[in-house]
Structure 1
Amino acid sequence: MNYDDVQAILACPGSSRDLTDPTLPRPIKGLTVEDVPGILVNMDAPGHSRQRRILRTAFTVQAAEQWRQSCRTLAHELLDPADGVIDLVAEYALPLASRMICQVLGVPTADYQQFHTWSTAFLSTNTASVQKRMEAYASFMAYVARLVDSHRANPSDDLLDELIGAHDDGDQLTETELVNIVFMIITAGHETTAMMISRGVFRLLLHPRQYQILVQDPALIPSAVEEILRYDGPGSPGLVRHATTTVKLPSGAVVPAGTVVLPHIAAANHDPQAFHCPERFDIRRYDEGADTRGHLGFGHGPHYCLGHAFARMELQEALRALTSRAPALRCAIPLEDVPWTSQEFTHKPMRLPVLLA
């Protein structure tokens, strides 16, 4: 599937994310993301458009920039006690993404390990763990409902309180919508970001010369992040779509109405008709002034990732701290021995032991 076809499917109004019909095919057996009702990623217009309008002011680039210094400070704090070998996944990527979502959203930091356990179980693709996924989802949603209740009773000054008060021409989110949105933000905000930090560093370890260029020229970090998102994003097979109408693609292929199709974002991001030498990892590809098509790492169209500005900011600061504190960063084991997940919806390093000096 080429770039233009994927982009067209993602943007097409007849490409539905509502797969609640149990007769439709599923990429994973048992409870999956597709089965969660009422969350943005599974909604179509007009309900999806309405919630996005209400939420838009909370997820701007300006809103993300307000948290950049906090993210920078946290990244350095996580590296401060590091001496010798650290597991970049467990000791850096995951706590950075998790603690940032706690700060931004207003979640007690002490709870992050618990919701990480729930989200990991929920995103598992092991068919033997269907019951475990259902239990994790129920526990997670109950926790989020209590969190929303707590913030309503004791408001502070964080994103959750902003979401509680968010409105568009007087139209506010319902309690159920709030719970669903917070569930989505917590899951995507720490799991996906942590995964991309780990995958991005792994990619740079495979290209040590490019890592050294970043050490010498930190101004290239935003470009490097975009190339990581193109080359290694989104780290999963993607989300399937149900064609509610017949869709003719730019390539001339036709997706008949009723078909369930997987728009493969990784394939689109490596389309040689869209990107020059797509299999070459090049941190300068998105440098200022470069004539490069935008990647689809955050999707496209109505479902373009709501938290893209926050994710970009965190990825940039994660790399900035590493390149300044660990200019000689290298893997502590052969890169081919790094273990990767095999029974989760996302594909990521399970451990990434690195030497900081």
Structure 2
Amino acid sequence: MTMPSGADILTAVGYDDVKAILVSLGSSRDLTDPQLPRPIEGLSIEDVPGVLLNMDPPDHSRQRRILRGAFTMRAAERWRPSCHAITQELLDATHGVMDVVNDYALPLTSRMICQVLGVPSADRERFHAWSAAFLSANSAAVQTRMEAYSAFMEYVTGLVAAHRDNPGDDLLDDLIRAQDEGDQLTETELVNIVFMLIAAGHETTAMMILRGVFRLLLHPEQYQMLVEDSSLIASAVEEILRYDGPGSPGLVRHVTTTMQLPSGATVPAGTVVLPHLAAANHDPEAFPSPERFDIRRVGTRGHLAFGHGPHYCLGHALARVEMQEALRTLVSRAPALRPAVPLEDVPWTTQGLSHQPVRLPVVLA
């Protein structure tokens, strides 16, 4: 596979091979060696120190332990009423038409991450702009990415200081208390954790909501199933995640010990490999008739949209709650939802973490 930087890397596409790479201790996320292929030119997510995405044990295990309690399914369920209320407010403001991107998905997930972390809601537009710029895969935007990262980190550093001076009871305050009580979290790690939670914690989920709505508009008969039976919403979310998630191939790994994959392929030590999550989710050996979108599909919980192994997405439970509530409100309030333009005319982009529509105008009634 050729990355945006132009570098060619090995790609694993089979479900079992991808899982094997994701769980292997010889599969490292440390890509700081300048001799390794770069996913994109200039500063990228791989260069941010002290972030879970880029860490290996034991430091990775230590940070996961500190964060784990805040991202359980029980913790996510506490946010469901707030999430539902936000979806209702957003639809109330639409007057019968909306852009799913800017009027629904992004406002929902950005408002949720603000509530969870204790970020002032007035800052949402700023941190979304920084996130979009920093997470861009466009090599032509190297300077813009670096400027966005610098501004974002300055903001997060100030946010942490403000919470330390005026503590509350949100997740950021919990992380500060963990640090102050000697839980081995450095100031740099704390700032970078908050940066990553804000930057990636809203955009990826918003894009999955967006891609899910787009997929259901392509299959109106399945949208109608949800209108008639809301108990299918959870399985619909899992099928959306399998079929369309995560919207990007995944994160590359540096293989430090020669690996023998289940398929029989050998990955030599020193190789940079991409365990392709989307390809694995369409492996017919794991998911019969994988190109058939079916919200009644059985066995979708085995999908790899959130990864697998030590780096399994920490925010998976909250993402599921947000996706479920976004769909629940849509099918309840807009049983005749339809696209406002032909779906083939909807523009797409690959500028952020995933491939997604730039805008998706819909008519609610």
Structure-1-length-normalised TM-score: 0.96
CA apart distance, 1:291: 4.4
Look up the equivalent residue of 2:178 and give its one-letter code.
A
* Distance in 2 separating the partners of 1:342 and 1:185: 21
Matched, 1:300 2:333: no
- Which residue of 34, 51, 74 maps to 1:39? 51
* Residue 32 of structure 2: aligned partner: 20
* Residue 347 of structure 1: aligned partner: 355
Cα-to-partner distance string for 1:193-212 (whole Å, 9 max, x where unaligned): 11111011001000000000
* Residue 202 of structure 2: aligned partner: 190
Q: % of aligned pairs identical? A: 75
Look up the equivalent residue of 1:146 and give its one-letter code.
G
* Distance in 1 separating the partners of 2:225 and 2:66: 41
Cα-to-partner distance string for 1:290-322 (whole Å, 9 max, x where unaligned): 445610000000000001111000000000010
- Matched position secondary structure for 1:262: strand
Structure-2-length-normalised TM-score: 0.94
- Matched position secondary structure for 2:254: strand
Conservation of the 8 A alpha-carbon contact between 1:274 and 1:293: no
Look up the equivalent residue of 2:363 and give its one-letter code.
L
Cα-to-partner distance string for 1:141-168 (whole Å, 9 max, x where unaligned): 1111110111011001111111212379
Matched, 1:319 2:330: no
- Matched position secondary structure for 1:90: helix
Structure 1 gap ranges (5+): none
* Distance in 1 separating the partners of 2:346 and 2:78: 35
* Residue 248 of structure 2: aligned partner: 236
Look up the equivalent residue of 1:350 and give its one-letter code.
V
CA apart distance, 1:345: 3.5
- Which residue of 225, 231, 253 maps to 2:237? 225
* Distance in 2 separating the partners of 1:100 and 1:292: 26
Look up the equivalent residue of 2:172 and give its one-letter code.
L
CA apart distance, 1:352: 0.2
Look up the equivalent residue of 2:133 and give its one-letter code.
A
- Which residue of 190, 197, 214 maps to 1:202? 214
Look up the equivalent residue of 2:362 and give its one-letter code.
V
CA apart distance, 1:237: 2.2
> Matches of residues 35-114 of structure 1 in structure 2 within 5 Å?
35-114=47-126
Conservation of the 8 A alpha-carbon contact between 1:243 and 1:255: yes
Look up the equivalent residue of 2:335 and give its one-letter code.
P
Look up the equivalent residue of 2:35 and give its one-letter code.
T
Distance 1:135 1:169, change over 3 A: closer
Cα-to-partner distance string for 1:215-237 (whole Å, 9 max, x where unaligned): 11001101000111100001112
CA apart distance, 1:175: 1.3
Matched, 1:272 2:284: yes
Conservation of the 8 A alpha-carbon contact between 1:18 and 1:42: yes
Conservation of the 8 A alpha-carbon contact between 1:54 and 1:167: no
CA apart distance, 1:170: 5.1
* Distance in 2 separating the partners of 1:281 and 1:297: 15
Look up the equivalent residue of 1:349 and give its one-letter code.
P
Conservation of the 8 A alpha-carbon contact between 1:165 and 1:172: no
* Distance in 2 separating the partners of 1:225 and 1:248: 34
Runs of 4+ in 1 over 6 A off after TM superposition: none
- Matched position secondary structure for 2:349: coil
Of the structure 1 ranges 79-88 and 195-204, higher mean CA displacement relative to structure 2 is found in 79-88
Conservation of the 8 A alpha-carbon contact between 1:333 and 1:353: yes
* Residue 8 of structure 2: aligned partner: none
Q: Say what the alpha-carbon RMSD is for the aligned residues.
A: 1.4
* Distance in 1 separating the partners of 2:99 and 2:80: 24
